[in-house]
Amino acid sequence: MTFENIQEIIAKDEHRCLELKKTTGELQDAMHSACAFLNTDGGWLVFGVAPKSLKIHGQQVSDDTQREIAQALGGLYPAVEVKPEYIDVPGRPSDQLIVMHFDGSKWGQMPYTFHGCPYYKVESTTKVMPQEMYEERLRAAKPEAFAWERQEADNVTLADLDERRIRGAVRLGVERGRMPATAETESVEALLSKWGLMRNGKVLNGAVALFGVQTASYTQMRLRLARFRGTDKNEFVDSGRAEGNFFDLLDAGMDFLFKHLSQSGKIVGFHKEEQLEIPAEALREALTNALCHRQLEKYNLSPGIAVYDDRVEIENPGRLPQGVTPENIKTSHASFPYNPLIAEVLYRSSFLESWGSGVGRMVDSCKAQGVPEPEYVLNGGFVIIVFRKPEGAGVVNGPVNDPVNGDVNGDVNGDVNGDVTSLKGVLKDIYLIVLNNPGIKIAQVAELRGKSESTVWKQLTTLKKKDLIEYRDSDKTGGYYIKK
């Protein structure tokens, strides 16, 4: 480091990565900035330069000065190795500049404190780090100690988890090649232990969030549902609340969206293709992300779905990952899932794709259907994904009807009789899916409907009991068919 280098560094006055102090008489205040550099993007700390005028004075450096600097650096925690440089000032033989550089933070590092207080940079200003930000960084640095999903669940045993959900997740993972076939024969305890959802024989909170049966005491494991008339929250048309584990809430949320969004169809070849006014796959991705990445430690907050005449909003209690903003979220970015244990299980079971790719898939789905791209809004501790409806769609004039409950028309007339005419809602929709896709499998129906396989299996079983469909077992074409 030379004097000329320092002149270049200070040429543009103080900024986010540069702090100037006239002398080490301001050493304590300078350490606040040093801590902020360590917690933000790094930066230079220079003694011997007057801020604003940028006049270089230097100062006399004695053994006491160096000892004071070393003691001040010792107030930073975790300990940081910084070697101050002492640079002679031309024309002032007894004076020197004192220069220190501090590296910026990386995700997963412990947040730094000075004498127990964390600081960070907001533009060129040094501020005390908000408690929420500090706790989030602690969780990222030491998840085993601070992350909610890794804490032992109070008074919860394996008997309080839904084994069908667990086995369903394994089956999907095996089918998609993300879990070994041997997983299907392992015990529930072995599976949860491998997924990091059990420790020393104790069920962790992450297992409850994914597979819990009794979740009433977990107030954050709820989903708020509302359909409003118009474009504001002045008048409810329908409202409700779902409770349960991840899969229960995903099913409930998708059912609500199918109920309150218009559905249309077109004939492609010999098949009728149905689609919502907003792509179901984009809505399902957004809801999956909201349920997976929410801040579950906040007991008083829960995700929500709000349907308006002109848009759908899916809100998630939390914040975007470090470095991600509503403006750059659609560009390529690294992913730091808020609940990595839960996210990993959902990836292995194919409910999530590779981390960081979900936004791109939502955008692609909307573009393919000619719908506006989703928007991201931060509001009051919530991340809100906004889907705009096509112009003129979804206006509520009278009571809201289930779009799946319309008459069975078109290519179905003349071929359907008996109990089919009495089918309502989801059962009718699934019947039409089987009718138009002979040989379809449970996983394919679940994907089309945006539901879990266990839920779809129950509905298919109901149709079988009504003697309307049948399963034909064949190595090549095994699947569900309309019963003649």
CATH number of 378's domain: 3.30.565.60
* Cβ burial 397-425 (10 Å sphere, 16+ → b, else e): eeeeebbbeeebeeebeeebeeebeebee
Same domain (yes/no): 191, 120: no
For residue 421, tell me if it sits in a domain.
Answer: yes
Same domain (yes/no): 240, 367: yes
Quick one: pLDDT at residue 141?
84
Determine which helix (DSSP H) or strand (DSSP E) holds 375, and give its type and residue range.
strand 375-379
Q: Whole-model pTM?
A: 0.64
Local structure of 289: helix, strand or coil: helix
Quick one: pLDDT at residue 421?
61
- Cis? peptide before 93, omega within 30° of 0: no
Same domain (yes/no): 270, 203: no
Determine which helix (DSSP H) or strand (DSSP E) holds 191, and give its type and residue range.
helix 188-194
For residue 418, tell me if it sits in a domain.
Answer: yes
For residue 397, tell me if it sits in a domain.
Answer: no
For residue 401, tell me if it sits in a domain.
Answer: no
User: Can you give the residue range of the structural domain that contains 313?
Assistant: 222-338+346-388
CATH assignment at residue 62? 3.30.950.30
Quick one: pLDDT at residue 454?
78
Tell me which of 142, 169, 200 is where a domain ends. 142
Quick one: pLDDT at residue 408?
36
For residue 399, tell me if it sits in a domain.
Answer: no
Which stretches of the chain score pLDDT less than 50?
267-272, 397-418
Sign of CA dihedral 273, 276, 278, 284: negative
Same domain (yes/no): 69, 90: yes
Same domain (yes/no): 107, 199: no
Quick one: pLDDT at residue 402?
37
Neighbours of 187 (CB within 10 A): 9
Same domain (yes/no): 424, 358: no
Distance CA 24, CA 19 (A): 13
Quick one: pLDDT at residue 120?
95
Same domain (yes/no): 7, 64: yes
Quick one: pLDDT at residue 354?
60
CB–CB of 212/156 below 8 Å? Answer: yes
CB–CB of 204/152 below 8 Å? Answer: yes
Q: For the chain, how many structural domains are there in total?
A: 4
Phi-psi region at 380: left, alpha or beta (left = phi > 0; alpha = psi -120 to 50):
left
Quick one: pLDDT at residue 26?
95
Quick one: pLDDT at residue 204?
96
CATH assignment at residue 427? 1.10.10.10
Quick one: pLDDT at residue 434?
84
Same domain (yes/no): 262, 370: yes
Quick one: pLDDT at residue 210?
96
Distance CA 199, CA 150 (A): 9
Quick one: pLDDT at residue 401?
37
Same domain (yes/no): 265, 291: yes
Contacts for 350-353: CB closer than 8 Å, 24+ residues apart: 350/172, 350/173, 350/175, 350/176, 350/178, 351/169, 351/172, 351/250, 351/288, 352/288, 352/289, 352/292
CB–CB of 374/385 below 8 Å? Answer: yes
Distance CA 286, CA 330 (A): 13
Sign of CA dihedral 445, 449, 451, 455: negative
